Structure 1
Amino acid sequence: MRNVVLSIRRQLPLVLLGAGIAVSTLPNLAFSAGGEGGSNSIPTCTKGKVYDTRSKKCVSKNSSAVPDKDRTEYAYALTQAGRYEEALEVLDTLKNPNTKEAWNYRGYATRKLGRTDEGISYYKKSVAIDPKYAMVREYLGEAYVIKGQIDLAKKQLMVIKSICGTTCEEYEDLHEAIENPSNI
């Protein structure tokens, strides 16, 4: 799914231009995949705002009208856009931060900020909530690869295999990370 979204993101300006829509007139939005295996694409907003799926608008990140599910998916969209600090700020606004997705995305953002051990601690909280959550297993495995703990990464790969087989994206991505650690 992530590869499809990236492909769409690259092709969108060309499609819009082909349709006679001037790309420069579009709002500053970047589309990213949201949620586990989600097909939803949500835009990212300017700093200090979150995307509200009900109003289909960017609103203040402190707005009480935006539910935790939207905030969590928006934080994931921010991580995919490389906006890790902002993702953590959004996760800090959750009413219930104790979900598998919230802990996973918090782990991902902190790992990407170079705080791998902290990221691992958040991944483990996600695993404790749902041991069969393949995405967190992938990211935890990648964290172990970064730390040079390939044996632990391979254990996560085997868990992913038991969850969704060898053709799911999480298995393929972690396998690639183990084979080519410089690509993480």
Structure 2
Amino acid sequence: MRIAASRICRLTLAFGLAAGLAAPAFAVGDENDETSPPPKTETTTKCADGKVWDKDKKECVDAKKQSFNDDDLYKFAREFAYAGQYENAINILNLAKNQSDPRILNYLGYANRKAGRFELGMSYYRKALQADENYILARSYMGQAMVEQGDVQGAKVQLVEIRDRGGENTWAYRALLQSLNGYRTY
């Protein structure tokens, strides 16, 4: 009996470790992790007037005059948004070809909200969730906005949605929970 119990314990531990290794893991600043602030690049450390860093040309360029893809534009916009350059973020996001991309819509919401256009920001969060109801980062930012406006019940609904969509162990969940507990987040 003891041998069987010990064997079950080892199998359970091995399964748990294997399951943990199979889950995606993101290091802080990993470019695949949408939830951590992007690393600062030349776009926000060397460029001015809303210009972005072109790695190939090794200079600051006007994004409107270049042919950056939506992923590049998204990364530039995130960096601008986290640097507090909300208008630059919005201008870059408006250049994206796919204006229905939930990532683009979410950051249009974030940048507009942070720039003081709360209702416009909320409308973008709603559009992001219409495009992908499982996009928990949009739910987190929307919930944080609700907390800022005093809609604690609405924020709690978003927290439950994040949890129920498998996001309980994510930054999106923790950030909204912290916001509900009175901590300032993003």
What TM-score comes out, normalization by structure 1 length? 0.74
Q: State the identity as a percent.
A: 33
User: Could you tell me which residue of structure 2 aligns to residue 151 of structure 1?
Assistant: 153
Tell me, yes or no, if the aligned pair for 1:135 and 1:170 is still in contact at 8 Å: yes
SS of residue paired to 1:58: strand
Tell me, yes or no, if the aligned pair for 1:145 and 1:181 is still in contact at 8 Å: no
Counterparts of 1:174 and 1:52 in 2: how far apart (Å)?
Answer: 35
Counterparts of 1:59 and 1:4 in 2: how far apart (Å)?
Answer: 28
1:40–1:34 Cα change, 3 Å: farther
1:139-178 deviations in Å (ceiling 9; x for gaps) = 0101111111111100100111122342211100000001
Q: Which residues in structure 2 correspond to 1:25-174 (within 5 Å)?
A: 36-37=34-35, 41=39, 43=41, 44=43, 45-52=47-54, 57-174=59-176
Counterparts of 2:184 and 2:39 in 1: how far apart (Å)?
Answer: 28
Tell me, yes or no, if the aligned pair for 2:178 and 2:184 is still in contact at 8 Å: no
Counterparts of 1:56 and 1:140 in 2: how far apart (Å)?
Answer: 37
What TM-score comes out, normalization by structure 2 length? 0.73
Counterparts of 2:130 and 2:140 in 1: how far apart (Å)?
Answer: 15
Pairwise CA distance, 1:64: 3.1
Look at both structures and tell me which one has the larger radius of gyration over its CA atoms.
2
- Structure 1's unaligned 5+ residue stretches are 6-31
Q: Which structure features the higher share of strand residues?
A: 1
Matched to 1:151, the amino acid is Q
Matched to 1:71, the amino acid is L
Pairwise CA distance, 1:117: 1.2
Pairwise CA distance, 1:94: 1.9
SS of residue paired to 2:169: coil
Q: Report how many residues are paired.
A: 158
Tell me, yes or no, if the aligned pair for 1:99 and 1:126 is still in contact at 8 Å: yes
Pairwise CA distance, 1:127: 0.3
1:165–1:72 Cα change, 3 Å: closer
Tell me, yes or no, if the aligned pair for 2:108 and 2:124 is still in contact at 8 Å: yes
Give RMSD over aligned pairs: 2.9
Matched to 1:108, the amino acid is Y
Tell me, yes or no, if the aligned pair for 1:50 and 1:59 is still in contact at 8 Å: yes
